[in-house]
Amino acid sequence: MEPQVIFEDDDILVINKPAGMTVNKADTTRNEKTLQEWVEEYLHLPPAPQKQSITIDTDPRDVFLLRGGIVHRLDKETSGVLIIAKNPESFVELQRQFKERIVKKRYIALAHGDVTPNEGEINVPVGRLPWNRMRFGVLAGGRESLTKYTVMERYYHVARGQKELLTLLELQPLTGRTHQIRVHLKYLGFPIVADELYAGRKQARGDRTWCQRLFLHANTITFVHPVSKKEVQFTAQITEDLQSALDSLGKR
């Protein structure tokens, strides 16, 4: 399970992250190789300073090393395009672009149900659930979160003689909340296929008989190159496992 390099120059590295790979190191990742460790080896980065909390006063070079140049994250089970800065200056500039919503991301997801209308947006406050710290949800007082979506195709899956409708979506998150797309689709009543957190355990178990993991893929990312100042776009094609899951379905 190795990331695929999509693009690389002196300032940035763009990769296709495989599903099942955790992005950042943590106390809970000691028994697995994270993307951050892969990046540190690939870029031959010097050791990070002794573990410390990152604050607004932390030296940018220390933040760059503490995060292994990784500017943003994808969930462990989500595959797709991800940007890595190769030096502190590029790291700071790309972080600024994310903060100011200059970066544009598009995802592909397969959701349960017949999503209508064909285009729309979801704009609800999202926060961590007080009764389950592993999950997020729509909460009064949560942080602003906005996602636009477009229907790409409709499918159906047959199980025990019953047809279930499914919708393939392209989604553009305009904010960057944790689990944002997953929470938004759950809120609409169209949870993502094989989503163990938000589709429900029984549904996810059934999904994983024909789709082995969360059907969510970061397809494209657009941003301004930190040095050339030209807008660039990179695409990670949908993975073989997700394509195989689609190929097993009937088109509506």
**Residues tagged active-site:** 75
Q: What are the tokens at 248?
A: 């097993």
Calculate the alpha carbon distances from 126 to 1, 75, 169, 186, 239 in Å: 32, 17, 21, 12, 29
**Half-sphere exposure of residue 188, counting CA atoms within 13 Å on the CB side?**
23
Q: What are the tokens at 86?
A: 């190769």
What are the residues whose beta carbons fall under 8 Å from the beta carbon of 151, sequence distance 6 or more? 115, 116, 118, 119, 167, 168, 169
Calculate the alpha carbon distances from 38 to 15, 34, 50 in Å: 11, 6, 19
Contact 111, 193 (CB under 8 A): yes
Local structure of residue 214 (DSSP, 8 states): -
In this structure, what is the dihedral angle of CA atoms 20, 196, 209, 31, given to the nearest 10 degrees? 30
Terminal CA-CA length for the chain: 34
